[in-house]
Amino acid sequence: MQAILLPHSVKKFGWILLIPATLAGIFLIINGFDSFVLKAKVFAFFNKEILSANPSFGWIRTNITQTLVGVLFLIGALLVGFSKEKQEDEFIASLRLSSLLWAVLVNYTLLLLAFLFVYGLAFLDVMLYNMFTILVIFIFRFHFVLYRSSRPLKDEKHS
């Protein structure tokens, strides 16, 4: 069964979105999520503000900085993670599948540890980061294994 992948040409665009979004996300984490405020009027299916008269389904004015960074990160990560390589073959598909399985296992192991050892509002931070970690782990693992498999072994160089 062949995996449905995006064309290789979108991978570069994915990196163009992913790298700045990652840097912006790190900036927001270090400096506080309200360190840069970009307000806009947006449509909300559900809004649970403390003093809101209408808690759902309507227009609200809010800080969209985290939303914008999160959306750019997710689009970039999906484009990078799920676009074809220049030479897509069974070996690459195998690396992709094993990296995805590895990322799921590591992600849920970290989540299990968080359930056991992180409490209070800090757990909400963990859940926020957990939305992104599976893609980060997958992209890192896939490209690391791909890089390692493309390097000639030391024994083969001297032959």
CA distance 113 to 131: 16
- Residue 151, pLDDT score: 75
Are the CB atoms for 21 and 69 separated by under 8 Å?
yes
Q: What pLDDT digit, counting tens, does each position of 97-126 carry?
A: 999 999 999 999 999 999 999 999 999 889
Rg (CA), the chain: 20
What is the amino acid identity at position 40?
Answer: A
- Residue 45, pLDDT score: 79
- Does 131 have pLDDT greater than 80? yes
